[in-house]
């Protein structure tokens, strides 16, 4: 029953005595079983598009730790690829894409209606997980937010300051906004298909929201999140949505009300005490332990975990990291964090 799933209860606004737990990038390189499965797949993209193996790596941290949710194993850059961009990964350096810097580049992209041919294996992974997960475990689907996805499509790779995307939005605003609009429409369709396949919650990752300031944040981070949320709520009114405008600072305040998301995920650049006072007043929050604790461990990990749980104890809260777990994390520290939350 959905009502027995603690994450769905928190997302519905219930304050629980022990917050549910999951972890961004919980299926990842810090786990030896993940590394073995990725080697079996051949490379990262082949793993994303192999439903059986993608489901396997999604299930691995559930078997090991008993997290309250599993998040679909995929990547935020599959949408650009489905739209027609070239995508490949350079070992040790990350993703590379063909760039969108001129109208001619944009014109080569395909229509939103064509994305599902590429993305069908992702929906198949969701279906497998929907059947395979323990009855108490919530299945989370996700996509990258339009601004964050656009930064990679414009630069062709990750950048420290999202400079190429900022330059394009200033120098050729119509092209930039057309690209954002195409990504937004694709994201709505993609997440809707994940929900139809069995995702019980979806999350919108705006990893580079913090580099947008003032009106630009409102227009290019908050507004696309509102548009995606409204479209999904119209089609799937009972599916909760988590928004993550990372490093938004004061932009976190009022984000849930302005966008309609059911929960705001928080990075660790804001304190739990501040967020409880300014963000949790509007509903569920998720976060926000510094991911470096998963590397260093020790008593500071336990103390900070307990402090976050206490700070958010007055309202609905899902415990998570403030960013994804890193490949150099110690798997034993993950268990220490879980034990500290559950106080066993």
Which residues have a catalytic role annotated?
Answer: 25, 29, 38, 75, 152
Torsion sign over Cα 142, 147, 148, 151: positive
Alpha-carbon distance of 7 to 197, in angstroms, equals 19
Instruction: Kindly state the tokens that stand for 135.
Output: 């009855």
Task: List alpha helices for 42-137, DSSP H.
Answer: 44-48, 51-65, 78-83, 103-107, 115-132
Q: Which residues contact 86 (CB under 8 A, 6 or more apart)?
A: 97, 98
Instruction: Kindly state the tokens that stand for 96.
Output: 């590379």
Find the helix or strand (DSSP H, E) in which 136 lies.
none
Alpha-carbon distance of 168 to 99, in angstroms, equals 12
CA-wise closest residue to 204 among 231, 178, 173, 174: 231
CA-wise closest residue to 266 among 320, 309, 315, 219: 320
* Per-residue buried b or exposed e for 188-204, using 16+ beta carbons within 10 Å of the residue's own CB: bbbbbbbbebbbbbbbb
């Amino acid at each position: 029953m959905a009502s027995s799933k603690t994450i769905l209860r928190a997302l519905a606004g219930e304050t629980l005595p022990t917050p549910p737990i999951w972890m961004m990038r919980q299926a990842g390189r810090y786990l030896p079983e993940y590394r073995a499965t990725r080697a079996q797949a051949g490379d990262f993209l082949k793993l994303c598009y192999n439903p059986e193996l993608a489901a396997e790596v999604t299930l691995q941290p559930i078997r090991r730790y008993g997290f309250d949710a599993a998040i679909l194993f995929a990547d935020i850059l599959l949408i650009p690829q489905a739209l027609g961009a070239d995508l490949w990964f350079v070992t040790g350096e990350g993703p590379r894409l063909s760039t969108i810097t001129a109208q001619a580049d944009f014109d080569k992209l395909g229509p939103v209606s064509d994305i599902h041919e590429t993305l069908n294996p992702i929906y198949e992974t969701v279906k497998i997980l929907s059947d395979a997960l323990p009855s108490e475990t919530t299945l989370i689907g996700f996509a990258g937010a339009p601004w964050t996805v656009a930064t990679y499509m414009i630069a062709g790779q990750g950048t420290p300051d999202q400079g190429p995307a900022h330059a394009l939005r200033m120098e050729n605003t119509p092209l930039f906004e057309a690209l954002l609009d195409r990504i937004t429409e694709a994201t709505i369709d993609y997440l809707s298909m994940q929900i139809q396949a069995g995702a019980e919650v979806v999350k919108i990752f705006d990893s580079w929201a913090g580099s947008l300031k003032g009106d630009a944040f409102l227009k290019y981070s908050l507004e696309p999140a509102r548009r995606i949320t409204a479209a999904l709520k119209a089609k799937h009114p009972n599916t909760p949505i988590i928004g993550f405008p990372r490093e938004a600072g004061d932009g976190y305040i009022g984000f849930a009300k302005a966008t309609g998301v059911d929960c705001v995920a928080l990075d660790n650049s804001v304190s739990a005490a501040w967020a409880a006072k300014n963000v949790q007043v509007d509903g569920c929050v998720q976060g926000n332990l510094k991911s470096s604790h998963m590397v260093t461990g020790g008593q500071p990990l336990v103390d900070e975990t307990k402090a976050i749980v206490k700070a958010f104890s007055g309202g609905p809260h899902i415990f998570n990291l403030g960013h994804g777990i890193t490949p150099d994390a110690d798997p034993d520290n993950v268990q220490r964090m879980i034990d500290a939350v559950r106080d066993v």
